[in-house]
Amino acid sequence: MANITIKFNYKDSPHRDYKGICFNEDGAKALLSNQVKNKLLDQPQRDELLNYFKTLEQDTGFQKSKTLLIDIQSLQNQKVDVQNFRIGEAVAEVILEENFSCRFYWNELRDARNPKGNKTGADLVGFIEIEGNVLFLFGEVKTSSEQKSPPLVMTNPDGIENQLKDLYIDQQKRRILISYIKSKIGLVDSERFKQDFDNAIKNYYRQNSKNYLLYGVLVRDTNPDENDIKLSYEKLKAEILEPTGLKLLAIYLPIAKQKWLTVINGEQNETN
């Protein structure tokens, strides 16, 4: 975990723990301006569309199309324009993918007609591999600058605690999420995606075990504090029973969240 410092770490089992990590400023800037930006722009999809437009531009009859030229230039110079909570979700996905054996094959922004709108269902829908077993991962992400520990986004009625409990209690909601992720398999050229789904669904239904994992991620621009998630973990583990997995992660970025977009778009080098 380059540029990452573990500030606190508590582990009950490979499936159940909480952790707090932080970045130095250079690491946070690199994270936002590279992986997070690519996630928010959906770089693979954007590049595919841009290449298609450029090929079309070479065809007779399209070389003088001002509309096509404008769209090509727009894609080439595209800026990220999203709310901070969406940046927090992208940070969470990138960190989980790069450091915690999680896999998210489908960028959910492709489903959004309005990139500034709210997603339906869980914020995180993917897979996690633990000790060689692949499980469904359903999770929630919150971003907070509140100078209080824990912040209200952990404990209020729409906070991570209640959202994770709801995912645990509501089997229909989980079934909808499973159906959603299955519907994306044919849209992604990935044999591993198919294998992960097959393994995860077998673990989920085998002997009615409820073998899947719930992940809560808190993204902060405050000083690290174990109390941000410790109390929530203690409450949740008493209600979300094994074998269902439970993990909480607090991510601390030393850049004020109102400056995240500036860093992502490279509009200034100074963030202080």
pLDDT tens per residue, range 125-151: 999 999 999 999 999 999 999 999 999
pLDDT class for 270, splitting at 50, 70, 90?
very low
Global pTM reads 0.88
DSSP state of 118: P
139, 143, 148, 151: CA torsion to nearest 10: -30
pLDDT in tens, 209-258: 789 999 999 999 999 999 999 999 999 999 999 999 999 999 999 999 99
Calculate ∠ Cα 200-6-109, nearest 5°. Answer: 45
Report the Cα–Cα distance between both ends of the chain, in Å, rounded: 25
Its sign, for the CA torsion 250, 184, 34, 40, is negative
Phi then psi for residue 92, to 5 deg, are -60, -50
| Of residues 34, 13, 1, 21, the one with CA closest to residue 218 | 21
Tell me what the pLDDT averaged over the chain comes to: 88
Whether 32 shows a pLDDT value over 90: the answer reads yes
Specify the pLDDT at position 42.
Answer: 78
Gap between the Cα atoms of 48 and 248, Å rounded = 35
CATH of domain 4-33+83-264: 3.40.91
Least confident of 10-14, 19-23, 91-95, 109-113: 109-113
Question: For residue 51, is pLDDT > 90?
Answer: no
Hey, what amino acid is at 177? Answer: L
Instruction: List the domain boundaries for the chain.
Output: 4-33+83-264
Of how many residues is the chain composed? 272
User: Cβ(26)–Cβ(251) under 8 Å?
Assistant: no
Tokens describing residue 53: 């437009």
235 by DSSP, 3-state: which? helix
- What's the pLDDT band for 272 if we cut at 50, 70, 90? very low
CB atoms within 10 A of CB 262: 17
Are the CB atoms for 268 and 109 separated by under 8 Å? no
